[in-house]
Amino acid sequence: MRHLRLRAIILISAGLFIIISGLSGCGKKDTEKAVSAKTGADKAVQETRVPSTAPITEERVYYDFEKDPMGWEIPMWARGKSDYVAKSLSISKAVKLHGEGSLEIITAFPGDNWTAALVEIQQYLNLSPYRVISVDLYVPKDAPIGLKARFVLTVGENWKFVEMSRSVPLDPGEWVTLTANIE
């Protein structure tokens, strides 16, 4: 795939607000060529991605949230729905992991049923040189125990949904790095 279309959605299953500081892609991908027989003498060369075991030695920050949300928003389709509870976005200068700011998501969780706070960006990004994508997440100390987050990406021309197979627990008062393999 030449270009990876990225629309990252952070799903939170309970809580007060979430702060995202820096979305980055890391590590170069390795590929190998595979030859397979189609019919008789016809042969096709296919590129097969092989997960790399090499250490990740480089990182690129796509979104640092130093001054503005950089195109991230609460999806219009989620506004006004009772199970999607993100209310607003802003830049926080008070809570940050690196640099000058973080993306703060204000939510209104009811606490008695499943709800999610989603933020997204709709932008073409070529992430093919990278092996993983990461985001640093923070929830305040007074947030309830049991918060979880995950990536959902849409890729390709038909916006196919690709979702992490598991959610990552968020610890109140601690930064947690959520990392997903994108090979």
Q: Please write the tens of the pLDDT for every residue from 108-150.
A: 877 778 888 889 888 887 778 888 888 899 988 988 788 889 8
CB 23 within 8 A of CB 61: yes
Contacts of 174 (CB under 8 A, 6+ apart): 138
Burial letters for 1-26: b for 16+ Cβ neighbours within 10 Å, e otherwise?
eeebbbbbbbbbbbbbbbbbbbbbbb
Instruction: Report whether pLDDT(181) > 50.
Output: yes
Of the pLDDT bands very low, low, confident and very high (cuts 50, 70, 90), residue 175 is: very high
Query: How many angstroms from the chain centroid is the CA of residue 167?
Result: 12
Global pTM exceeds 0.75: no
Q: Tell me, what amino acid is at 156?
A: G
- Facing residues of 106 across strands? 17, 88
In angstroms, the CA 12 to CA 70 distance is: 21
- Residue 53 is predicted with a pLDDT of 67
- Residue 49 is predicted with a pLDDT of 52
- Residue 4 is predicted with a pLDDT of 30
Of the pLDDT bands very low, low, confident and very high (cuts 50, 70, 90), residue 103 is: very high
In angstroms, the CA 73 to CA 103 distance is: 10
In angstroms, the CA 142 to CA 16 distance is: 9
- Residue 126 is predicted with a pLDDT of 79
Average pLDDT over residues 21-50: 45
Q: What is the pLDDT of residues 55-95, one digit of tens each?
A: 666 778 888 888 999 999 999 988 888 888 889 999 999 98
User: What does the chain come to in residues?
Assistant: 183
